[in-house]
Amino acid sequence: MSEIILPKESNIYRLFQQAVAQRQMVFLAGLPGTGKSLLLKQLALMAQQAGRTTHLLQWDVTRAAFETAVILQKYPEIDGVTHPAIRKAVGLWTRAGIQQWHETYVGTDHFLLGEVPLVGNRLSELTQSLPDESEAILVDEKTLFIVPVPSQSVRQTIEAAREESIANPQHEKENNDAHPNVLYMLWHDVVLAGYELGLVAEKPIGKIAYDAAVYAAVYQHLLTNRHTVILPINTVLRPNGSAYELVIDGTELTATPDEVDKIMQTVEQSMTADELETAVFNWYKI
């Protein structure tokens, strides 16, 4: 049975309590393997206990609508990494999806909760100031981005748990978790972004150890134009059951087949392959 496991005196609980009371949209941003799924579940439970209908936006769920047989044949996944064309299309659609949600669910009873990686152009469009109707929503004080930043020891514990869940999944969504090699690749991308932004002194070479300060600095940069809280995680949270056992009473934001076709055509017609590769490679340039 799902229950709130956050200590009421903790900084996490206090922040989540304020977010549920004061915000309309909250996005948990960051790398896989930083505890976002468990925190997402806790925040959803707190929102529901406060009487708010909770809706969900997740990179994996939103992306799935774009992974049809036809699209994947043209834009295949390689070594567990989503093709740049799909990443760009999902990001652009998500901005439109947020706008549509905002227009549909008016009032304080509804709460949109998101899980957004940002790294490597995985919903990076949410951080960019673009000339569309969703920009006013994303910069509004009712919208908050939270970046959970685990300590070195907590990160190690989460990574170990990830390896165990991949070997012995307890929930179907655990089968889609990023594997350790992908986690390391994404961390390398963050450090490389930090180097390009002047936040890291040396260009990363080889396997780089996790550094909470670098992680926080890069994500703070990404979210410069958004209301953001960096949330230190210094204690290991032990879920009852899978962190993916999440029941929401609202909707999940996902594109219709027609919307998928339309946004894929937009991406293909507006960007060459080289332009697309460059845009995705420069995901950290806001």
Buried residues in 41-73 as b, exposed as e (16+ CB within 10 A): bbbbbbbbeeebbbbbbbbbebbebbeeeebee
With contact defined as beta carbons under 8 Å apart, do 233 and 33 qualify?
Answer: no
More confidently predicted of 76 and 2: 76
Question: What residue type is assigned to position 90 of the chain?
Answer: V
With contact defined as beta carbons under 8 Å apart, do 140 and 226 qualify?
Answer: no
Angle at 265 between CA 83 and CA 132, to 5 degrees: 95
Level-2 CATH architecture, domain 11-151+226-277: 3-Layer(aba) Sandwich (3.40)
Residue 179 has a pLDDT of: 62
Which has the minimum average pLDDT: 167-171, 243-247, 269-273? 167-171
pLDDT of 169 above 90: no
Residue 247 has a pLDDT of: 84
pLDDT in tens, 76-135: 998 878 999 999 999 999 999 999 999 999 878 999 999 999 999 999 999 999 999 999
The residues spanned by each domain of the chain are 11-151+226-277
Residue 180 has a pLDDT of: 66
